[in-house]
Amino acid sequence: MKIIKHLFTALFIALTIGIVSCKKDDGPTANTEDLYKNKPSTPIPASLKNGLWFWGGLSPISYYDRDGHQVGNDWEAARQYSFTEVDGKGRLEFIQYLGTRNASNCVTEIYTLKKGTVVFEGTDKFTFHPVEGNFRTVKKGCSNDGTTKRQATAEELKPEDYLWEIKQISGEPYFYIYDSKDVNKEDPVFVYSFAQ
C-alpha cells in the first residue's frame, strides 16, 4: 500500500508540474481575490482539511514496443482534489489529466484545472463553487502538434453539488464522491485515496 501511495504522490507531482509549468503566473490579482470573497464558503471538515485526494493510474501510454510486445495502455487518467482554508474559508482545487495514444502514435494530453470555494452542508454534502480555471491540450506526434490553452467559460464554472463520505479500507482513508441525487450512496462517481 505504501508503494501505491508513493506512486500516487509521484503522479500528483508530475500533474502539478505539468499544469503549473505552462501557466503564466502574474500573481493573484485584486479581481481574482474579489471573486473568492464573493463566493460562499465554509470551513473544511477535519477529515479533509489540508488533504490531497487522488484517483488514477500511471502507465506508459503505448501499445507495443518495436518487437511487438504490449507494453502499456492506450490511455491514462488521474484526478485530484486538494482542500485548504484561507482565513477559515474553504477552498478547493481540482486537477484532472487524461492522456491517450492512438494507433498512429499520436499522443494527446488534456489537463483541467479549476479553483474555487467550497461549502459543506451537514455531514455528507458539499458544493464546489469554481471561480477560475483553464484547459490545456498538448498533442505530440499528431498531424496538428502543439499546445492549446483556454480559460474556463462561465458555463464550466457553475457550482457542482456532491455527496461524500470517508471510508476506511485496510486502515487507509478513501474519499467517496457521489452524485447529489444518489442519497443512498450506492454508486460512487469517483473514489479517491489519501495521497498526502
Q: For 53-101, what is each residue's pLDDT tens digit? A: 999 875 555 555 556 555 556 778 899 999 999 999 999 999 999 988 8
> Amino acid letter at 158?
K
* CA distances to 49, 69, 163, 164, 196 from 171, in Å: 19, 38, 22, 19, 15
Residue 70 domain-assigned (yes or no):
yes
Q: Which of 14-23, 59-68, 153-162 has the lowest mean pLDDT?
A: 14-23
183 in any annotated domain? no
Is 184 a domain residue? Answer: no
Which residues span the domain enclosing 105? 2-160
Cell numbers that stand for 32 in this block? 481574482
> What's the mean pLDDT when you consider all of the chain?
81
Number of domains forming the structure of the chain: 1
- Report if residue 47 sits inside a domain: yes
The answer to whether residues 178 and 163 touch, using CB atoms and an 8 Å cutoff, is yes
| Nearest in space to 8 (alpha carbons), one of 80, 62, 75, 100 | 80
Inside any domain, residue 152: yes
Q: What is the pLDDT of residues 140-157, one digit of tens each?
A: 888 889 999 999 999 999
**Quick check: 80 and 57 in contact, CB under 8 A?**
no
Residue 177, in any domain of the structure = no
Higher per-residue confidence, 158 vs 63: 158
Hey, is 53 helix, strand or coil? strand
Q: What is the rounded CA–CA span in Å between residue 178 and residue 171?
A: 22
* pLDDT for 71: 55
pTM of the model: 0.77
Residue 120 lies in a domain: yes
Position 174 in a domain: no
| Cell reading at 72 | 502499456
